[in-house]
A and B are shown apart, each in its own frame.
Chain A
Amino acid sequence: MRLALGWFLLSTLFVSGYALSSETFSESLKITPLPDGRVSTTFSFNTVLEGASPRDPCSLTSQDASQHYILFPLTLGQILREYAVTELHLSLNAGSWNYERWGYPEEKGVGTGAELWAWMGVDESKSVDDRWKGLRNALAGLFCASLGSLDEQRTTSPDRVFFPQGRLPKWSGNVAHQLRHASLPSEHVCTENLTPFLKLLPCKSLSGIASLLNPHRVFDADWHGMGVHVLWLGEAGVQVRLTFQSVMDPLRSSRNFLRNWSLQSLFGHSIERNCPAASSSAIHVTFSSTENPTLTPQPQTRSSTEVRYDVLNVEKPLDIAMQWRDEFKYPSIFKSSLPISVTRNLRGFTQASGKLSLILKNHRSTPQQLIYLETMPWFIQFYLHTLHARIEGHIRDDIISDISYNAAVAHSRPTTFQAVLRLPPNSVTHLTMDLDKAFLRYTEHPPDAQRGWDLPPAVLIPLNFDPNDNNSSHILNESRLGEPIYTSTLLVDVATPDFSMPYNVIIFTCSLVAFIFGSVFNLLTRKFVVLHLDPNRQNN
């Protein structure tokens, strides 16, 4: 009897084994009105492949097991398997995030243009660099972005700044992990990147929250960016998080200077139906507790600063609207929620040299430590001995410490500069460093060379203050890292040749060479003779 029962249980387990889905999908949208009247929206689509683990790079030589997915994006999953990527972060952003007015973003990676970084296990059979190359080419094909140009000249490994956000598996044979990071600030983000992005979602843009992602509206936003994040959560499995952020301006189309918005006015759509694949689908709307806007329809859960709509159990179509009674008054001062603010410039007007300048303001009344990362293409060459930090015009040697510097190699490797900065309370620090702009080869210039080169943003990460240890800057662990702050990108003007005249140059040079050759040759072979003039005839 017991045996029969056990057999029955076992067989039911076996039969319904596949029905118990090991993949979950959840989607959420967070809408936050910003102090400057704009509205920030963050879409987040989370797929978890439960119980899965990243591919062991040692198994790359043998054929991979078959991949069967229900919700997990197959095209992305195969790329991750093919190149044995443990953790991957790709962001494509347009515009520069205004930290002063908008505070920290929901998704941290907001550097202008494209940024890709990945943690990969090391194995002799296929080197990390080969797999990194394959990965960026595969992603370039998948997202229709120029990620293929994130080559060796842009790849760095700043492992003091980009810590793994998930966990790294411990494979047999003590496989180490390596970081590869590259950014392409001149990448433009547009519809051709959003379409493949939406194809990775189980419900595409046809149902659920993703149906709000209307390219006509989201690419009209003041700032917009998308991200793909793949992490290993340990036992819980592999997570793919697809994010889309935008900052929209309801005041732009408002006639009466009210900040009113609705899903319909922001995205041109309302949510018509549920995504059948989503296990949870939520819209969060936050607002500051001092203001009291009206929200329709009535939310299910409400706290003093946030309301939540459970989209799966709400009457459709769902069109959330927020309305204010009072006109919007533009604030004269923005109270920054960030501990520091930073301005980065490139000074100097010549095409041969210049000066990098950072102005760092510490808003807090406590000293602030931060990690400063600067990655530059090889043609920007730093003079490290000219790196000075000044406060009120006085050079201060105690501000910069723990410098790690990987010098550039011409035509191949970029510069990586990492340092720890210690800013005194309520101070303004000026950081300057001289640099040279190298002379590029004719073929190394990008199309439209006269526009100049976009330089990647610097990254600053405030370190949480550790009161127990005064000199703890050497211990850089993940727990001390705050949220990164990306500076704006820079545009550098390097010496550009006149591309329209190579043939003229050839002709000109050839003529000169021929002229010199002719004169020398003539001198060597000319016959000199003495002419005798008849003096009598001369007299006549």
Chain B
Amino acid sequence: MPSPLPASLKDPSTLFYQSHAVKRSVITSYWIIILFSIPLWWYTTSIQRLSLPEARIYSYAQRHLKIPVEICVEDDGVAPKLQDIFASRLSHESERWGDVEPHFHGRSHCPDTPSYRVRNGPKPYVRENEIYLPLYDQHRLSSTFDVLADLINPCREATNHNNRVVQFSPQYRLAFTLLNEDAAMGSSVSNWDIQAGLADRIKPILNQLRPLHNFTIESQVQYHGRLAFSPQTNDESHGLTPEDLTVFINSAEWSLSSSASNDPVIHFVLFIPSTAHRPLHILTSGGNISPSKSFLLPQWGSITIHNPPIDDAGRNNDLASQINDQIFHEFSRQLLSLLGVPSLPNGVEHHASDSTILSRWQIDALKRRRAVENTKGAQETLMSIVRLVNQIDNMPVKDDVKGDVQGALDALEKTFSAKSLQDIFKSSAEATTLASRAFFNPGMLALLYFPAEHKYAVYTPLFASAVIPLFVAALKEIAAWRRERREGIERERQ
């Protein structure tokens, strides 16, 4: 038996905090605090990754846009024949007719608001939404169908080089530049009549294309635009080889457009060679002088070369109004080609009551083409977002990205359900704009450069040293508790 303590000392087992209950509650309260703070810690350190509507994206990505075209034929008998020709063409031109589906109706079965009307006429011409074609010549019915087909759904190969057309954007900036290679050498062009050129040649086209795009225009005159290479010299003339054309733009020295907005820019450059390089011609790959005075850089813009006569006094003159008009006519052709406006099939004329340049058929064909492109673009972009987010675990997905994705899906839904061509086009444009805005959202890159390993490197020094005593104390207490229980049971047995 241990001897009792001296009176001056207190037995530690009688202190209140030495009781088992208090000690155990101290340990458990530590553990409770830790367990409760884990969700808070998790919440404050995790990246916000909202779930994207993946199922909906997958289902919409698989859908295929098929734009119906209702055609009303004047004669009841011809309509089924045209439909038959279409059916036979569909079998071996399935790729061409993947996105557009024409329906030919006779006069009696005509829907209330058909897209187009086909009437009989000796020579083919279009007016508004009507076309006059020789309908009753049975042998020419096949070529009649070809004319219609080219109007409704121009062959991609015919409009040539798909990649020449600029990417779709609701807003473009057209930048016109009169670029003198070296005006200080004289005989250059000091000014042009941009207002007249735009009013006569460009603005009528832009007005007609307004349902598809908005345009802002800017122009400038530059007096010095050195070439980055020296053109080939043959006797009296100078030439640009096809290789030279690809490096023609000296973007380091020419500031051809302002950077006031992020809209894509289409450039139109009138290049006046210096007297040392005049006359300057475009050469064919064989080295001969090409009759063409202008060339087109795909998706960038067009360049026209003009060789004014050499002024004896060496003065710089304004551009003669006739040449000014020619040049802007050339610009307008290039603009149509860059925007992908199809031309009318051979032999078809455009009769208009007012002096509009483009027929409704051309604009409609462009709308259909852009709608199909936009829908495909939006579908692909949405799929890329899903793949990217699934691939990279640290990529945050915030409300704005989710909202844009939702918006793009809603717009796609509208595209598939819309009836009129203008509605289909509008909602497809909205879908592709929203989808690419979501894809390029800068917030998605925020934490890519701060991986989870860094977090652990910061936390381990604290957690390892603090948690070990907690674990040891908890294990000890559990062991003590079990021993006590066992002893209690044995005592009871005795």
Is the Cβ of B461 less than 8 Å from the Cβ of A207? Answer: no
Is the Cβ of B318 less than 8 Å from the Cβ of A19? Answer: yes
Question: Which of A18, A274, A506, A527 has the largest count of B CB atoms less than 10 A from its CB?
Answer: A18
Closest 7 CB pairs of A and B: A514-B465, A78-B258, A528-B12, A78-B260, A207-B184, A510-B462, A510-B461
**Residues in B whose Cβ lies below 8 Å from that of A141:** 259
CB-contacts of A190-239 with B (<8 A): 199, 202-204, 206-208
Interface SS of chain B: mixed
A82 interfacial contact with B, CB 8 Å: yes
Is the Cβ of A66 less than 8 Å from the Cβ of B216? Answer: yes
Is the Cβ of B218 less than 8 Å from the Cβ of A70? Answer: no
**Residues in B whose Cβ lies below 8 Å from that of A510:** 461-462, 465
- Listed by A's residue number, 10 A-B pairs whose Cβ atoms lie within 8 Å are A18-B194, A19-B318, A66-B217, A70-B191, A503-B457, A506-B461, A511-B465, A514-B461, A518-B465, A528-B15
Nearest-Cβ distance from residue A140 to partner chain B, whole angstroms = 12
A79 to B257, CA, bound (A): 12
Is the Cβ of B191 less than 8 Å from the Cβ of A75? Answer: no
**Residues in A whose Cβ lies below 8 Å from that of B352:** none
Find the A residue at minimum CB distance from B258: A78
**Residues in B whose Cβ lies below 8 Å from that of A169:** none
Is the Cβ of A18 less than 8 Å from the Cβ of B196? Answer: yes
A199 to B223, CA, bound (A): 11
**B218 in complex: contacting residue of A18, A67, A513, CB < 8 Å:** A67
A476 to B151, CA, bound (A): 73
CB-contacts of A16-70 with B (<8 A): 18-19, 21, 63-64, 66-70
A13 interfacial contact with B, CB 8 Å: no
Nearest-Cβ distance from residue B303 to partner chain A, whole angstroms = 18
Find the A residue at minimum CB distance from B473: A525
Is the Cβ of A530 less than 8 Å from the Cβ of B11? Answer: yes
**Residues in A whose Cβ lies below 8 Å from that of B15:** 528
Find the B residue at minimum CB distance from A15: B321
B392 interfacial contact with A, CB 8 Å: no
Nearest-Cβ distance from residue B172 to partner chain A, whole angstroms = 13
Q: Mark B176-202, 1 if CB is under 8 A from A, else 0.
A: 000000111110101111111010000
Q: Mark B467-481, 1 if CB is under 8 A from A, else 0.
A: 001100100010000
Is the Cβ of B260 less than 8 Å from the Cβ of A69? Answer: no
Q: How large is the interface on A (under 10, 10 to 19, 20 to 34, 35 or more residues)?
A: 35 or more
A277 interfacial contact with B, CB 8 Å: yes
A303 interfacial contact with B, CB 8 Å: no
A475 interfacial contact with B, CB 8 Å: no
CB-contacts of A506-540 with B (<8 A): 506-507, 510-511, 513-515, 517-518, 521-522, 524-525, 527-530, 532
Is the Cβ of B221 less than 8 Å from the Cβ of A69? Answer: yes
B3 interfacial contact with A, CB 8 Å: yes
- Known contacts A275-B184, A532-B2; is-contact A524 B17 (Cβ 8 Å): yes
Nearest-Cβ distance from residue B244 to partner chain A, whole angstroms = 22
Is the Cβ of B473 less than 8 Å from the Cβ of A521? Answer: yes
CB-contacts of B202-247 with A (<8 A): 214, 216-224, 226
Find the B residue at minimum CB distance from A21: B191
Q: Mark A265-288, 1 if CB is under 8 A from B, else 0.
A: 000000001111100000000000
**Residues in A whose Cβ lies below 8 Å from that of B253:** 199, 204
- Known contacts A277-B223, A506-B461, A510-B461; is-contact A530 B260 (Cβ 8 Å): no
Nearest-Cβ distance from residue B173 to partner chain A, whole angstroms = 10
- Known contacts A82-B261, A514-B462, A525-B27; is-contact A68 B218 (Cβ 8 Å): yes
**A79 in complex: contacting residue of B18, B193, B260, CB < 8 Å:** B260
**Residues in A whose Cβ lies below 8 Å from that of B23:** 524-525, 527
A510 to B462, CA, bound (A): 5
> Which B residues fall within an 8 A CB radius of A?
2-3, 5, 9, 11-13, 15, 17-18, 23, 26-27, 30, 182-186, 188, 190-196, 198, 214, 216-224, 226, 253, 255, 257-261, 316, 318, 321, 457-458, 461-462, 465-466, 469-470, 473, 477
**Residues in A whose Cβ lies below 8 Å from that of B12:** 528-530
Is the Cβ of A206 less than 8 Å from the Cβ of B226? Answer: yes
A203 to B26, CA, bound (A): 83
A327 to B384, CA, bound (A): 76
Find the B residue at minimum CB distance from A79: B260
A517 to B466, CA, bound (A): 7
Find the B residue at minimum CB distance from A205: B224
Is the Cβ of A18 less than 8 Å from the Cβ of B195? Answer: yes
**B224 in complex: contacting residue of A203, A517, A525, A532, CB < 8 Å:** A203
A160 interfacial contact with B, CB 8 Å: no
Is the Cβ of A507 less than 8 Å from the Cβ of B461? Answer: yes
> Which A residues fall within an 8 A CB radius of B?
15, 18-19, 21, 63-64, 66-71, 74-75, 77-79, 81-82, 138, 141-142, 199, 202-204, 206-208, 273-277, 503, 506-507, 510-511, 513-515, 517-518, 521-522, 524-525, 527-530, 532
Nearest-Cβ distance from residue B367 to partner chain A, whole angstroms = 23
Is the Cβ of A74 less than 8 Å from the Cβ of B183? Answer: no
A528 to B9, CA, bound (A): 13
Is the Cβ of B466 less than 8 Å from the Cβ of A79? Answer: no
Is the Cβ of B195 less than 8 Å from the Cβ of A203? Answer: no
**Residues in B whose Cβ lies below 8 Å from that of A142:** 259
Find the A residue at minimum CB distance from B454: A503
Find the B residue at minimum CB distance from A19: B318
Is the Cβ of A273 less than 8 Å from the Cβ of B184? Answer: yes
Nearest-Cβ distance from residue B67 to partner chain A, whole angstroms = 31
Is the Cβ of A207 less than 8 Å from the Cβ of B469? Answer: no
Is the Cβ of A66 less than 8 Å from the Cβ of B218? Answer: yes
**Residues in A whose Cβ lies below 8 Å from that of B17:** 524
**Residues in A whose Cβ lies below 8 Å from that of B218:** 66-69, 74, 78
A527 to B321, CA, bound (A): 106
**Residues in B whose Cβ lies below 8 Å from that of A524:** 17, 23, 26
A381 to B458, CA, bound (A): 35
Is the Cβ of A514 less than 8 Å from the Cβ of B188? Answer: no
A498 to B191, CA, bound (A): 61
Is the Cβ of B260 less than 8 Å from the Cβ of A138? Answer: yes
A11 to B191, CA, bound (A): 19
**Residues in A whose Cβ lies below 8 Å from that of B27:** 525
**Residues in B whose Cβ lies below 8 Å from that of A202:** 221-223
A48 to B53, CA, bound (A): 57
Nearest-Cβ distance from residue A191 to partner chain B, whole angstroms = 14
A415 to B192, CA, bound (A): 52
**Residues in B whose Cβ lies below 8 Å from that of A529:** 12-13
**Residues in B whose Cβ lies below 8 Å from that of A207:** 184, 223-224
A82 to B462, CA, bound (A): 53
Is the Cβ of A525 less than 8 Å from the Cβ of B465? Answer: no
- Known contacts A75-B255, A82-B261, A511-B465; is-contact A527 B193 (Cβ 8 Å): no
Apart from the given pairs A70-B220, A524-B26, 6 other A-B contacts in the complex at a CB distance below 8 Å = A15-B321, A275-B184, A514-B465, A517-B466, A525-B27, A527-B23
A77 to B175, CA, bound (A): 14
Is the Cβ of B194 less than 8 Å from the Cβ of A79? Answer: no
Question: Which of B182, B258, B259 has the largest count of A CB atoms less than 10 A from its CB?
Answer: B258
- Known contacts A15-B321, A19-B318, A510-B465; is-contact A274 B221 (Cβ 8 Å): no
**Residues in A whose Cβ lies below 8 Å from that of B9:** 530
**Residues in B whose Cβ lies below 8 Å from that of A81:** 260
Is the Cβ of A69 less than 8 Å from the Cβ of B220? Answer: yes
Nearest-Cβ distance from residue B378 to partner chain A, whole angstroms = 26
- Known contacts A66-B216, A68-B194, A81-B260; is-contact A276 B223 (Cβ 8 Å): yes
A74 to B219, CA, bound (A): 8
**Residues in A whose Cβ lies below 8 Å from that of B184:** 203, 206-208, 273-276
**Residues in B whose Cβ lies below 8 Å from that of A19:** 191, 318
A63 to B216, CA, bound (A): 8
Is the Cβ of A77 less than 8 Å from the Cβ of B258? Answer: yes
Nearest-Cβ distance from residue A537 to partner chain B, whole angstroms = 14
**Residues in B whose Cβ lies below 8 Å from that of A74:** 218-220, 255, 257-258
Find the A residue at minimum CB distance from B192: A18
Is the Cβ of A275 less than 8 Å from the Cβ of B462? Answer: no
**Residues in A whose Cβ lies below 8 Å from that of B457:** 503
Find the B residue at minimum CB distance from A25: B223
Is the Cβ of B191 less than 8 Å from the Cβ of A18? Answer: yes
**A522 in complex: contacting residue of B186, B196, B198, B469, CB < 8 Å:** B469
